[in-house]
Amino acid sequence: MEPFTIHTGVVAALDRANVDTDQIIPKQFLKRIERTGFGEFLFFDWRFLPDGSPNPAFELNAPELAGASILLARRNFGCGSSREHAPWALGDYGFRVVIAPTFADIFYSNCFQNGILPIRLDEADVDELFRRSSPGPLRLTVDLTSQTVSDENGFSRSFEVDAFRRKSLLEGLDSIGLTLQHAGAIDAWEQAHGVPQS
Amino acid sequence: MHVIGPEMGLTQPGMTIVCGDSHTATHGALGALAFGIGTSEVEHVLATQTLRQSKPKSLELRVEGELAPGVTAKDLVLFLIGKISTEGGTGSVIEYTGPCIRRLSMEQRMTVCNMSIEAGARAGMIAPDATTFDYLRGRDFAPQDFDAAVARWEQLASDSGCHYDRTEIFNGADVVPQVTWGTNPAQVVGVDAAVPDPASLTTAADRDSAARALDYMGLEGGQKLVDIPLDRVFIGSCTNSRIEDLREAARVVRGHRVASSVSAMVVPGSGRVKRQAEAEGLDQVFRDAGFDWREAGCSMCLGMNPDTLSVGERCASTSNRNFEGRQGKGGRTHLVSPSMAAAAAITGHFTDIRGWNFND
């Protein structure tokens, strides 16, 4: 997994709460066996008109947001289905960071598995970033080492992230490899608890 | 999976169960810690038999009293989600407690735990008790030394007076049959009420969200639920497709006919449920009334096969999500209990099941 240390990018502001994973990636696209190629279907029903052309009213289709790599959203982002295709689609489209006041738990975990950094900021700070994103484009620097988010105009906030997840992202670590370092302890526990050994 | 696991006795109290689907929470009804995970974590579990977890917070939802006639476990969980919101449970595991919960059958408990995720909680649990043990006894994968297993399982319940990070208390008697009006499960009201007027909601975010939802759903504030006509009815999904759900719906349907304006189907939750329903003659009750009787599957809960809504079609569904496009692009989903869905199929609009004319 590609390490994440410090990232600067353009912010795409999606001013909606409770964005569920059915919106992020609708179910008809969940039939691939690769993790790649989902970016073209991100927010499909919002991005495209029925005839398949880009919907000019959808925020992320604004020309100045091409290449945006930081998504700014409202409360409870990523709620609903556990589909990991949601962070796959976001990542494939080009997002490396999602900032919101709150995230749904499963989506939050799934982001870390895919090199996407989900950042929880206070509602007031998120409001401020929405204000600063218009007129755009807003550029933010996200520094995982110092755990800060800042812009070029004096905004700077720190964010919290679980120490283990932070280290895994900073070093691009493979979580299965890390866990298997404890294989002895896992086997011992299973034997002690009567779990049949194959 | 969430029908088959419990019915085969694969799901047992005290287990940790994960699966690549958010409704894995269903298995918490048997006192397991069960939650949904993504594909990478599935890979991790297959490779290591473990997952690294931080301890979640505990949210006790205590339900006193009992449910009134015609009010079901589905109405109860919709009511709870309406009260605590789609992120009320985020960061927590819910434990459902109280006499109203104790009175629920295992299948009813599964309906409640199933929708914990819609309140933001990864998992929802109900402590195992005699109801649980009686349910598991004799099932395919139930432990051979069942009494020894029960003795272990009886140790699992939360200690009385234990600390929960948060407790909310409700009374089952306050629950009336529910219908969602919006595009998330918390946008719900009693069938005897009206669609809310967005202007009446407290925060700007809620007003915007409600206005957007009403626009998508083709509804207006103030519209009475019982005046809303339907195109489709779907009885199925891991929330409500077990034998008790089918019996409940069949009882409503018996001797009536599906309205000519409605296309209705019943999808049993597993092959076993389907065979049992057929042995009880329920399939014939549904067919005689004009329902399609289908093979088991997820079907129109999420519209991944051809069972989908067309743009603008309005559906009374016993499933668990009414997000935009969930059942088909432009489809309008209303979540209800099996008996409410059955009644709506007959009358062609939402109907308060408490006044229903049963042909028992």
- The CA radius of gyration of chain A, in Å to the nearest whole number, is 19
Query: Which of B39, B141, B298, B302 to mutate to probe the A interface, most A CBs <10 Å?
Result: B39
Instruction: Work out the minimum CA distance from A9 to partner chain B, whole angstroms.
Output: 27
Average pLDDT over residues B149-172: 97
19-78 of A, contacting B, C-beta below 8 A: 20, 22-23, 26-28, 30-31, 35, 45, 74-76
Give the pLDDT score at B306. Answer: 86
Q: Taking CB atoms and an 8 Å limit, are A104 and B120 in contact across chains?
A: yes
Q: At which residue do the structure tokens 């990018």 appear?
A: A9
At A16-40, the pLDDT tens digits run 999 999 999 999 999 888 999 999 9
ipTM of the complex: 0.91
- Tell whether the model's pLDDT for residue B173 goes beyond 90: yes
How large is the average pLDDT for residues B117-121? Answer: 97
Residues B297-315, mean pLDDT to the nearest whole number: 92
User: What pLDDT tens digit does each residue of chain A (198 aa) get?
Assistant: 789 999 999 999 999 999 999 999 999 999 888 999 999 999 999 999 999 999 999 999 999 999 999 999 999 999 999 999 999 999 999 999 999 999 999 999 999 999 999 999 999 999 999 999 998 899 999 999 999 999 999 999 999 999 999 999 999 988 898 899 999 999 999 999 877 765
- State the pLDDT confidence band at B179, using cuts at 50, 70 and 90: very high
Rounded distance, CA B219 to CA B148, Å? Answer: 56
Q: B48 and A186 in contact by Cβ < 8 A? A: yes
Which amino acid would we find at residue B84? I
**Testing the interface with B: which of A76, A82, A164 to mutate, by most B Cβ within 10 A?**
A82
From CA B124, how far away is CA A111, in angstroms rounded? 23
- Which pLDDT does position A198 carry in this prediction? 59
pLDDT band at B303 (very low <50, low <70, confident <90, very high): confident
C-alpha span between A169 and A114 (Å, rounded): 9
CA atoms in the 13 A half-sphere facing the CB of B307: 24
Segment B255-263 mean pLDDT: 97
Q: Per mean pLDDT, which range of A30-34, B120-124, B213-217, B332-336 is the poorest? A: A30-34
Percentage of residues in chain B having pLDDT higher than 90: 97
pTM: 0.95
Q: Tokens 């959203």 identify what position?
A: A73
A196 or B163, higher pLDDT? B163
Give chain B's mean pLDDT: 97
**Dist CA A11 CA A158 (whole Å):** 17
Question: B118 contacts in A (CB within 8 Å)?
Answer: 80
Helix (H) or strand (E) holding A6: strand A6-13
Does the beta carbon of B177 lie under 8 angstroms from any beta carbon of chain A?
A: no
| Residue of chain B whose Cα is closest to the Cα of A182 | B48
| Higher-pLDDT residue of B305, A109 | A109
- Chain A residues 159-188 with a CB less than 8 Å from chain B: 162, 164, 175-176, 179-180, 182-183, 186
Question: Which residue among B22, B49, B302 places its CB closest to the CB of A106?
Answer: B22
Query: By CA distance, what is A174's nearest residue in B?
Result: B44
* Rounded alpha-carbon distances, angstroms, from residue B206 to A16, A80, A97: 10, 18, 26
Residues B158/B25, Cβ–Cβ less than 8 Å = no
Q: Mind telling me how many Å the CA of A103 is from chain B's nearest CA?
A: 8
Q: Which of A81, A105, A190 minimises the CB distance to B90? A: A105
How many C-beta neighbours within 10 Å does residue B247 have? 17
pLDDT score at B144: 95
CA distance B2 to B311: 29
pLDDT bucket at B234, cuts 50 / 70 / 90:
very high
- Mean pLDDT (whole number) for B188-196: 97
**CA gap B278, B69 in Å, rounded:** 26
Cβ contact, residue pair A176, B47, below 8 Å: yes
Instruction: Indicate yes or no: CB of A180 within 8 angstroms of CB of B47.
Output: yes
* pLDDT of B110 over the 90 cut: yes
* DSSP string covering A9-24: EEEEE---SS-BHHHH
Asked if B87's CB is within 8 angstroms of A76's CB, the reply is yes
Q: Do A113 and B41 touch (CB under 8 A)?
A: yes
Q: How confident is the model at residue B360 (pLDDT cuts 50, 70, 90)?
A: confident
Quick one: pLDDT at residue A23? 96
* Residue A84 to residue B38, Cβ atoms within 8 A: yes
Distance from CA of B168 to the nearest CA of A (A): 21
Of the partner residues B48, B86, B329, the one whose CB lies closest to the CB of residue A179: B48
Min distance B282 CA to chain A CA atoms (Å) = 31
Q: What per-residue confidence (pLDDT) applies to B205?
A: 87
pLDDT recorded at residue A1: 76
Can you give the pLDDT at residue A33?
85
Give the residue-averaged pLDDT of B320-325. Answer: 96
